A and B are shown apart, each in its own frame.
Chain A
Amino acid sequence: DAGITQSPRYKITETGRQVTLMCHQTWSHSYMFWYRQDLGHGLRLIYYSAAADITDKGEVPDGYVVSRSKTENFPLTLESATRSQTSVYFCASSDSRRSGGTEAFFGQGTRLTVV
């Protein structure tokens, strides 16, 4: 199906474990983003990517790693999960070069709990 999809939707992991959240979009948008949503903080940017093989830090990058070997995929890895990384994670994509394409589209989110 077309769109932006995240997997898994829910994940429980233990402190210290590595976990990867997946994001896939079918529009060939150039930009992709990872946000985390926490009560009282809204949506905070973790990392973003302007194109394949180009990534950059956002507001809260510590403890996270990203890669973008293909335009359509943008996985987010927590190398050693901590309880403070318990959150809802949203992936988004956009491409303002496209006709009328200023909108950022969001996935359904991944609820991650670190115990």
Chain B
Amino acid sequence: GENVEQHPSTLSVQEGDSAVIKCTYSDSASNYFPWYKQELGKGPQLIIDIRSNVGEKKDQRIAVTLNKTAKHFSLHITETQPEDSAVYFCAARLTSNEKLTFGTGTRLTIIP
């Protein structure tokens, strides 16, 4: 089955700086890569996603890049703000079904 590794497990950045979280996946048949943000006491919520036919996608301060050859994808958050503090999960999904395999999460802390 699919295996997703995520790094780092914790990340602290100064407010206004950029944050980068990286994930690798094992199954070349995966074609959909979402990123979820989880705030304290809540369920994960989708913030951005990318399909395997696209190399990069941006949504305001958030961007995701995908390298299919290397089987890794990254989340980039620019101009970080205190409300960006949360746990972030990457995930991968095979073409054959809708199961998501998640990374182990990154706790991002924005230092004011």
Contact = CB atoms under 8 A, between A and B. Distances in A.
Genuine A/B complex? yes
Interface of A: 31, 33, 35, 40-45, 48, 50, 58-59, 90, 92, 94-96, 102-104, 106-109
Interface stretch (B13-21, B60-68, B73-81, B102-110): B102-110
Contact of B49 (A90, A95, A102): A102
Nearest to A93: B98
Contacts of B99: 33, 45, 48, 58
Interface in B69-98: 89, 97-98
B29 interface: no
A43 B89 contact: yes
Given A59-B1, A102-B32, A108 B43 contact: yes
A102 to B, nearest CB: 6
Contacts, number: 54
Contact of A42 (B34, B42, B46, B105): B105
21 contacts: A33-B99, A42-B102, A42-B104, A43-B89, A43-B102, A45-B99, A45-B100, A45-B101, A90-B43, A95-B98, A102-B49, A103-B34, A103-B49, A104-B34, A104-B46, A104-B98, A106-B43, A106-B45, A108-B42, A108-B43, A109-B41
A42 B6 contact: yes
A4 to B, nearest CB: 8
A43 B44 contact: yes
A102 B49 CA distance: 9
B104 A40 contact: yes
A109 B38 CA distance: 11
**Which residue of B32, B44, B89 has the most chain A CB atoms within 10 A of its CB atom?**
B44
Contacts of B97: 50
